[in-house]
Amino acid sequence: MSAELIFVEDFKKEAKKKVSPFGWGYYSAGSVGEQTVHENCEAYKRWRFRPRLLRYVSEVDISTTVLGSNIPFPICIAPTAHHAIACAEGEVETAQAAESLGTGMALSIYSNRTMEEVAHQAPKGTKWCHVQIVRNRDLIKHYVKRAEKAGYNGFIVTIDQAVLGNRHHRYPDGTSFAFKQLHPSTNLLESTKHFMPHMNEIRAFLHLTDGTTEWDSLDWLRSITKLPIAVKGILTSEMALKAVEHKVDGIIVSNHGGRQLDGTFASIDSLPEVVKAVNGRCDVYFDGGIRKGTDIAKAIALGAKAVFVGRPILWGLICGGKEGAQRVLEILRDELVTTMQLLGVKSLDELQTTPDLVVHESYLFSKL
């Protein structure tokens, strides 16, 4: 891996050169006009720091817990599909990167390696299983029981994929969703084979996006597992209150990296509304557009307990497999520490509770 890869954006540029045009398109695409993909990154610029200086910041503690598991820094790996496009061992390398640093990884239901293979090859790491709940509950129950047996630490239920978003990205073969070029989602197929033996990749995927999931699906999931449950895809106070009502352990504020409904608010702009509605009744986590330590500091100051990172991990895997993903996490971790020192805070708690440490740019004018 090149020594010149020192910022996350370097990994992005290098990854684009190294991966196939199909792979680049699949990983980077959003839906429709990609307004939300773009805004997810741009919106951080509208949130500004108001530092407190001359405070002791020589030692900074950034350890926290996510769904009850201890992690040394508040940056985890978001569930993203199809890591075999990026590196030979696919999600096994991703999990090993997280494990080597002691942080957590969410394994996508569409992963190219099964949850059992990943657990076997990264046994010590904190791992959560991503799941979507559909009409065929036997299938999902089978998947949930596999995850429990393999030692996963909890479930992340994605709720913003009732159907697949309208992807306008055009692949080199002229199609807008190049299913045929994807490696099989062996993780999902390991469960579908028991219930729908003739199901292929495309049908299995479409089965999981059949628009049948409703809020009571969370109660059903709760009834079949004791592991913690986080719901991913919350963007509004209305949805946050529903999630609290259904007794989830955590909420992930997310718009799926702009791949589902285009035209939502940027993820970071949605965070304060959700945090306020939840009012401490469950953990709030966050993803979307994180590329720098300053982005993470802003998310935590606005109420997130920890953040999840999507595309930057994929860029790391393309550039250097396990070591590449590990390096991306280290860069973000180290940048977060420096940002906190420059802000004058030495713990995540101080970052979150110091009043007006991060404010919307309109703050200045409202005070004049």
Ligand X SMILES: Cc1cc2nc3c(=O)[nH]c(=O)nc-3n(C[C@H](O)[C@H](O)[C@H](O)COP(=O)(O)O)c2cc1C
Indicate which single residue of 64, 96, 108, 186 sits in contact with ligand X (rule: CB under 6 A).
108
Alpha helix (H) residue ranges in the chain: 8-18, 21-28, 35-42, 91-101, 115-121, 137-149, 186-195, 201-208, 216-224, 237-245, 267-278, 293-301, 311-343, 348-353, 362-367
Residues in region 218-247 near ligand X by CB under 6 A: 232
Both structure tokens of 95: 């999990």
Residues in region 125-164 near ligand X by CB under 6 A: 130, 158
Q: Among all residues, whose Cβ is closest to ligand X? A: 310
| Per CB under 6 A, 305 contacts ligand X | no
Question: How many whole angstroms separate alpha carbon 263 and alpha carbon 286?
Answer: 18
Question: How many whole angstroms separate alpha carbon 104 and alpha carbon 124?
Answer: 10
| Per CB under 6 A, 80 contacts ligand X | yes
Residues in region 261-280 near ligand X by CB under 6 A: none
- Answer whether 299's CB lies under 8 Å from 290's CB: yes
Q: Could you tell me how many residues of this chain bind ligand X (CB under 6 A)?
A: 22
Query: Which of 8-16, 163-171, 282-290, 349-357 is the region at the interface with ligand X (rule: CB under 6 A)?
Result: 282-290
Strands 307-309 and 126-131: unpaired
Least CB distance to ligand X at residue 368 (A): 34
| Per CB under 6 A, 259 contacts ligand X | yes
Nearer to ligand X, 40 or 64 (CB): 40
| Per CB under 6 A, 331 contacts ligand X | no
Q: Can 256 be counted among the known catalytic residues?
A: yes
> Which residues does 117 contact at the CB level (< 8 Å), separation at least 6?
92
Least CB distance to ligand X at residue 178 (A): 13
| Per CB under 6 A, 256 contacts ligand X | yes
* Residue owning tokens 């740019």: 361
DSSP state of 160: S
| Per CB under 6 A, 113 contacts ligand X | no
Phi then psi for 104, rounded to 5 degrees? -105, 155
Indicate which single residue of 275, 309, 331, 336 sits in contact with ligand X (rule: CB under 6 A).
309
Site residues for ligand X per CB under 6 A: 27, 40, 78-81, 108, 110, 130, 158, 232, 254, 256-257, 259, 287-290, 309-311
- Annotated catalytic residues are 256
